[in-house]
Amino acid sequence: MLKGKSIILGITGGIAAYKGAALCSKLVQAGANVRVIMTESATKFITPLTLQTLSRNPVYIDTFDERDPAVVSHIDLADHADLIVIAPATANAIAKLAGGHADDMLSTTLLAATCPVLIAPAMNVHMYEHPAVVSNLELLASRGAMFVEPGTGQLACGYVAKGRLAEPEDIAAAIVSWFSRNGKLAGKRVLVTAGGTMERLDPVRYLTNDSSGKMGFAIAEAARLMGADVTVVAGRTAVSPPAGVRVVRVESAQQMLEAVTGVYEETDIVVKSAAVADYRAVNVSDRKLKKSGEKLVLELERTTDILETLGERKTHQFLVGFAAETEQVEHYAMDKLRRKHCDLIVANDVSKDGAGFNGDTNIVQVFGTEGLVESLPLLSKREVAIRLMELIAGRLTPRGGEGA
């Protein structure tokens, strides 16, 4: 899986730097071309000669140590990397990456990189739990960074707690897992809907919901990382879409319907995670509605059910719907799957802590025609998205043929 892959291994200044050597060795043995970048602090814990010997490549430390006049080293490294791994990643390195600093070889290369980044933090438990570090990790996650969680055990400071660098075997397994995902959906066209729709009452007021778009954007990002050509039709969202996907912005349920049906025929996989309004105002005022009495009565009418429309028109598409429920989750999910001719329904009880709108986590159950397919515990929305797209990719095979 790693044969011929170009991996940059960033090693920063912590006692766990010695594990970076073991990780480097494992990656090279697996066939990867490993280029090591060390911070000055890292060289206090382990010598560059060790990493040079293990990687069979020069080790980079100084941004200004340009060895090849034909290229600018940090740009050349960034341009040719399939993946950047930072292990160990200290609190300082994480802060610099989150803040966009570029004051050494590693941070400069990271700022120039467009490939995915995998971060393996290692630090004292109190540092790991500090609000500044937590905020930096969340910011990096929102930009698409991946993480290998630190383990719990004896720390260099004497504490027995969470914060020790994950074992080299676990980090290597995470790297292999990422590359195995990459390409599973190559050649497939994926359509994702995200966010909430807005139904205007007048020029300044509208009906909407609490959807942030985080789940839909996470799904789009996971599909892109697996090699798909991804289009996102997005309503109102609270976060920025991932890089590398085509984004079509809409406002109302009708606009979303038109955007989705416009590309449906050439789409292979549809994941409809947007929270679409069920009703809209019968009459939309072109002027701001003024107060006139103690009560205001609005007349609403049903919007077109987008998922049902797609199900009725389905030919070769693999159709996935979402069901946000507060009770009888399985009953409503299976009913929705059958009525709307879906291949999968992703259901969650939004009344549970960690599973509602706006958060960074979710708890979902995935249903197919045979019933419950997979039940996922509390996970980050990115991990839920990855697991969902892997499940979809696996279920394409039995359908067979082009554009399954």
CA 267 remoteness from chain centre = 21
- Residue 336 known to bind ligand: yes
Q: Is 314 annotated as a binding residue?
A: no
Q: What's the one-letter identity of residue 195?
A: G
Determine contact, residues 252/197, Cβ cutoff 8 Å.
yes
Concerning whether 342 is annotated as a catalytic residue, the answer is no
Of the candidates 99, 88, 102, the residue with the CA atom closest to the CA atom of residue 20: 88
208 φ, ψ (degrees, to nearest 5): -150, -165
CA distance 321 to 201: 28
Dist. CA 104–CA 64, nearest whole Å: 9
Closest C-alpha to 159, from 326, 366, 15, 306: 15
Judge whether 64 is annotated as a binding position.
no
Q: Which two tokens stand for residue 203?
A: 């020029």
Of 24, 115, 157, 342, the active-site residue reads: 157
> The sheet that has 83-89: what strands, in order across it?
33-38, 6-11, 83-89, 117-121, 146-147
d(CA 124, CA 163): 5
Binding residues: 278, 288, 322, 336, 340
Annotated binding site for CTP: 278, 288, 322, 336, 340
Catalytic sites, residue numbers: 157
